[in-house]
Structure 1
Amino acid sequence: MQISSEKKTGLSGWTMLVMAIALLIALPIISVLSGLFADARSVWQHLAETVLSTYVINSLLLMVWVALGVGVIGTGTAWLVTMCRFPGSRILTWALLLPLAAPAYILAYTYTDLLDYYGIVQMSLRSWFGWKTMQDYWFPNVRSLWGAALMLVLVLYPYVYLLARSAFLSQSVCTIEASRSLGCSPWQSFRKVALPLARPAIVAGLSLALMETLNDYATVQFFEVSTFTTGIYRTWFGMGERLAATQLSAFLLMFIFALILLEQLSRGRGKYYQSSGSQSIQKYQLRGLRAIAALLFCLVPLLLGFFVPGGFLLKMTLDNWEQAFDQRFWDFASNSLIVSGLAAGVAIVIGIILAYGLRLNRSITMRIAAYVASMGYAVPGSVIAVGVLVPFGLFDNAIDSWMRSTFNISTGLLLSGTIFALIFAYLVRFLALSFNSIEASLTNIKPSLDDASRSLGFGATNTLFRIHIPLLWKGVLAAAILVFVDVMKELSATLIIRPFNFDTLAVHVYNLASDERLAEASGSALAIVLVGLIPVMLLSWQMEKR
């Protein structure tokens, strides 16, 4: 009876804790959505008459181009390395993930420096062909909508590649062999059998890529492409209209939710599961021109998305070593390490609480709370930044007003513009990475261990610390690395929320590159890419191991 009472108390306590965390994490999103009902007709009318249509059209066009690019490259490369054998296919299996390490804005800065009028490419062309001015030749302007789309495609196609390859690997051998026995060529097997079966995974990868596209700020801002993210920043800081910026954020948030709903509805009532056997699929052997074409199709996005910008940054860093690694670099690097470490640590603690609370009580209420707490990953950083600053500003103003009227003391800003607000924004944005990793590891622990611990008189909390946490270290480590690296690369939320005189490596790169000083920013940009390689290499190692 005593054990049952303790169990009930533990469940009640953990449930309340999870609900409180979910409500706190959802506060920025609720704050943004509440802006839909605020009265800002004059400013909103001005936006609608001037720039709103531009934001909508550019955002939609960017999404279309990115979806086409990542869909073709991600799905095509996944099929080739999974179902075909050609020179280099084994290495490409994990190498195709490398562009995930480089943020799109770093590629934008690098390729602009390479392809502008005084860049290496155009200077070489003028030298080879004797051209003197721009009147003698035509060269595409990378600072454009298509340029921004290309940068995003090169770093986001691994989302589709990873999920599509997993889907192709899990497809039934019997299905593929049946298509071959019916006379289907490799292309026909791909188009008629493998592609329809992998559609849910491909659509999921596309959804992730499109969410990251809508989250991007630095790339589109540097290429002078007006989208919702640039509009939110300009409305907040340029026009000083926080309410209008909140409504723009709410509009973008509704767009994101519609995208998620569309992805779910696109599956319909279709069934995509198969009975997979242990027999391995006989790969198609490609030779001659087909092998060369397959190799080039996989190699080009890898070279453009990782090796070309990475090599250029490395050369620029070595040529400008003292400028790239001056005292400011180490100051900004320490700032990045501090906020990334703090965010990762807090995300781990809260991720464990959420995952363990869900393990103790899998009611519909707890599942909804866990989903709400982890939905911030689908929300752009600029939207989360607005959602954090609005309630924090109201709290600061309320405390300051009360202190003034009661004690004639001004408290100023207690939360807004502090590291606490920045860490909270990171937590809202990246908690899903921590929760999903820990929850997946927790499901591998047998429930019988919980029952054995309870039978020995241990409550839920003691069971967590004595049994589960020692067994969760791999999932905890993976979650910490993922959150740490994503915080290092995050720019849009950092730009809006960061305290005064507190810049991270990402902000440092953005500021210098915006002033056309990429040589000074090369060391910081290279450091971000190298840090981003850590989870990519771990992911590649897991794929090879499996």
Structure 2
Amino acid sequence: MTATAETQKPVSLTARSLSGRFWRFSAAFVAIAVLAPALALGWEAFGPSQGLWAHLLANVLTQAVVDTAILLAGVGLLVMALGTSAAWLVTAYAFPGRRILEWALLLPLAVPTYIIAYAYLDILHPVGPVQGTIRALLGYSSPREFRLPDVRSMAGCILLLGFVLYPYVYITTRAMFLTQAANLVEVSRTLGVRRSAVFWRVALPLARPAIAVGVSLALMETLNDIGASEFLGVRTLTISVYTTWVTRGDLAGAAQIALAMLAVVIVLLAMERYARRRQRYFATAQRARRFTPQHLGPIAGVAAFAVGIIPVLIGFVAPATYLTVEAAKRMKVNGISPRLYGETLNTILFAGAATLAVLVFGTVVAYAARALPGRATALFQRLSTLGYAMPGTVLAIGILIPVAALDGLIDRVSQMLFGVPTGLLLIGSGAALGYAYVARFLAIAAGSIESGYSRIPRSFDQAARSLGRTVGGTFRAVHLPLSKTALAAAGLLVFVDCMKELPATLLLRPLNFETLATHLYGEAARGTYEEAAVAALAIVLVGTLPVMLLARIGRRESGED
């Protein structure tokens, strides 16, 4: 027996070492794959731009930079005001309908930015329902006699994007308000702070890091947008990248603009970190009491609900109602276009395959950081989240460069060995598009899975390892069964994001390949809005799934379920 034990011991140690190396190597592979597009982008940006760079700098980029800066500033201020005030309203006050408002304020997240622009272009058209009703009430008969300001403007773009993206600030800020201990408010009251001033003197300063995080997420989504800005006549850097590459065929010039966009993203992230550089939070051993809301009277309660529901009406109810009506008209007259069946299948297959890959890679990165803590795995985890910070157009160009080079290598090798050309195998098969989905949304899965792991006590790992389990064995026996809920939540969020993704899909899709998002973009660009209503409604309906999940998680964490 002693001899047997002595011969088994080295095998066990070797197995443990190999298992640890496998997880560390896999995490490194994922990090390099996400980092590769950024490195390729920098390499391509130093290439010749076919003589168009001077033209772009003189006639395109100056206006694009100005428009992008104005758009980011306007959207940032609007989402900060809407998200913070909405979070304080449903946290600090109790009134009829507050429970409904808590989750309803999340609904605009289900509407992609390009869909709200598409919807409001028709809703607010000079001969549309809104302006037609106003003219009828005022006694006018023609748009020449009375018309509202054109929604195709910088102001219109800021307003529409702000009313769709404010939930990013609402989610993070409300979570901070809920976790602020009630005794902080009570201490401020004993020191003479009026209840009406608690928000400005206590709650808002403590919530600044959460507000900064939410605003930075909204601004990155604004920078990623291509459909809404183009529909509303605002020429941003994102649109400049798209037209420089697709219209002018200048990949190096597009890479240079994309690199400038990446610098903007880095600045946004640096600003977010700077905003919370000195913020530290400490908790006592006892669980802090939750913030107790102030009960409002009947009139004040109705007023509070009316004010709180306005962002929901503008950001979700109005566009969703419009899409439902238009889709019903379209299906009643012409039925559902046969094209939509194939496009829906394309959307589901690509989003589903990408979601599966994202969950696998996100699990690898998150578990490697958990099971093998150290600088290397922490670095791999940080690098693997870079893709989400890169706008879709920037990521698409960064992916195209190495994938196109690999396609060329495969084609040359195939012709040399078998005499058969393969052409653009990876790009033509959609592998490049799948790569873009995985790189862009890996951060969502890794973050959600890491959050699930954080709920598993470290003692479980130690017990499994003491019983002879390897790193992989501990994952299979302990972490995988206990993190199924986190995996399901991450999968749902990633699937919907893949389904809604427009910029990367437009640039990397194979020839004659359409998804619901690209179908909508094409129809809206041609002005045939009624043809795209069914596709837009399908995207919105599926987009409500993660919103419902977020609302349920929020109620559970706040102790209201």
SS of structure 1 residue aligned to 2:133: helix
Please say if 1:297 is aligned against 2:289. no
In 1, the alpha carbon distance for the partners of 2:88 and 2:464 equals 47
Cross-structure match for 1:141: 150
Q: Given the alignment, which residue of 127, 135, 150 partners 2:136?
A: 127
Change (3 A) 1:253 1:284: same
Q: C-alpha deviations, 1:20-78, integer Å up to 9, x for none?
A: 12111211121112334334383222111111011111111111111111100100010
* One-letter amino acid of the counterpart of residue 433, structure 1: I
Of 384-393 and 128-137, more deviation after overlay is shown by 128-137
Please say if 1:30 is aligned against 2:39. yes
SS of structure 2 residue aligned to 1:118: coil
Please say if 1:56 is aligned against 2:73. no
In 1, the alpha carbon distance for the partners of 2:429 and 2:157 equals 32
In 1, the alpha carbon distance for the partners of 2:217 and 2:147 equals 36
In 2, the alpha carbon distance for the partners of 1:96 and 1:153 equals 13
Please say if 1:238 is aligned against 2:243. no
Cross-structure match for 1:487: 498
Q: C-alpha deviations, 1:395-427, integer Å up to 9, x for none?
A: 222343455567665331121243111111000
In 2, the alpha carbon distance for the partners of 1:486 and 1:324 equals 28
Please give the residue correspondences for 1:4-43 in structure 2 after superposition, counting only pairs within 5 Å: 4-40=13-49, 42-43=51-52
* One-letter amino acid of the counterpart of residue 54, structure 2: Q
The Cα shift of 1:456 comes to 4.0
Change (3 A) 1:478 1:324: farther
In 1, the alpha carbon distance for the partners of 2:18 and 2:415 equals 43
The Cα shift of 1:124 comes to 1.9
Change (3 A) 1:463 1:271: closer
Q: Is contact 2:127–2:143 with CA below 8 Å preserved after alignment? A: no
Q: Given the alignment, which residue of 360, 363, 372 partners 1:349?
A: 360
Please say if 1:448 is aligned against 2:462. no
Cross-structure match for 2:203: 194
Cross-structure match for 1:397: 408
Q: Given the alignment, which residue of 417, 423, 433 partners 1:422?
A: 433
Cross-structure match for 1:224: 233
In 2, the alpha carbon distance for the partners of 1:15 and 1:23 equals 12
Identity %: 38
Q: Given the alignment, which residue of 146, 166, 180 partners 1:171?
A: 180
The Cα shift of 1:290 comes to 4.1
* One-letter amino acid of the counterpart of residue 450, structure 1: D
Q: Is contact 2:76–2:218 with CA below 8 Å preserved after alignment? A: yes
Please say if 1:544 is aligned against 2:530. no
SS of structure 1 residue aligned to 2:424: coil
The Cα shift of 1:514 comes to 1.7
Q: C-alpha deviations, 1:76-129, integer Å up to 9, x for none?
A: 010010011222222211111111111111111111111112211122223333
In 2, the alpha carbon distance for the partners of 1:543 and 1:357 equals 28
* One-letter amino acid of the counterpart of residue 280, structure 1: R
Q: C-alpha deviations, 1:419-459, integer Å up to 9, x for none?
A: 11111100000011111111221232233333443444433
* One-letter amino acid of the counterpart of residue 517, structure 2: A
Please say if 1:104 is aligned against 2:113. yes
Q: C-alpha deviations, 1:258-317, integer Å up to 9, x for none?
A: 110121122233435465853333322333664344223211101111111111111222
In 2, the alpha carbon distance for the partners of 1:379 and 1:296 equals 37
* One-letter amino acid of the counterpart of residue 142, structure 2: T
Q: Is contact 2:180–2:291 with CA below 8 Å preserved after alignment? A: no
Q: TM-score of the superposition, structure 1-length normalised? A: 0.95
Change (3 A) 1:516 1:39: closer
Cross-structure match for 2:169: 160
Q: How many residues align?
A: 546
Cross-structure match for 1:412: 423
In 2, the alpha carbon distance for the partners of 1:65 and 1:187 equals 27
Cross-structure match for 2:343: 332
Of 81-90 and 462-471, more deviation after overlay is shown by 462-471
Change (3 A) 1:407 1:473: closer
The Cα shift of 1:256 comes to 0.2
Q: CA RMSD in A?
A: 1.9
Change (3 A) 1:501 1:307: same
Q: Is contact 1:173–1:277 with CA below 8 Å preserved after alignment? A: no
Q: TM-score of the superposition, structure 2-length normalised? A: 0.93
SS of structure 2 residue aligned to 1:224: coil
Cross-structure match for 1:386: 397
In 2, the alpha carbon distance for the partners of 1:52 and 1:491 equals 22
* One-letter amino acid of the counterpart of residue 78, structure 2: G
Please say if 1:95 is aligned against 2:104. yes
In 2, the alpha carbon distance for the partners of 1:130 and 1:536 equals 42
Cross-structure match for 1:370: 381
The Cα shift of 1:348 comes to 1.0
Q: C-alpha deviations, 1:182-226, integer Å up to 9, x for none?
A: 343333110111100100000000000000000000000111210
In 1, the alpha carbon distance for the partners of 2:201 and 2:469 equals 56
Gaps of 5+ in 2: 1-8
Runs of 4+ in 1 over 6 A off after TM superposition: none
In 2, the alpha carbon distance for the partners of 1:290 and 1:375 equals 46
The Cα shift of 1:239 comes to 0.5
In 1, the alpha carbon distance for the partners of 2:121 and 2:27 equals 46
In 1, the alpha carbon distance for the partners of 2:149 and 2:440 equals 36
Gaps of 5+ in 1: none
SS of structure 2 residue aligned to 1:42: coil
Cross-structure match for 2:223: 214
Cross-structure match for 2:6: none
Change (3 A) 1:324 1:142: farther
Cross-structure match for 1:315: 325
Cross-structure match for 2:484: 473
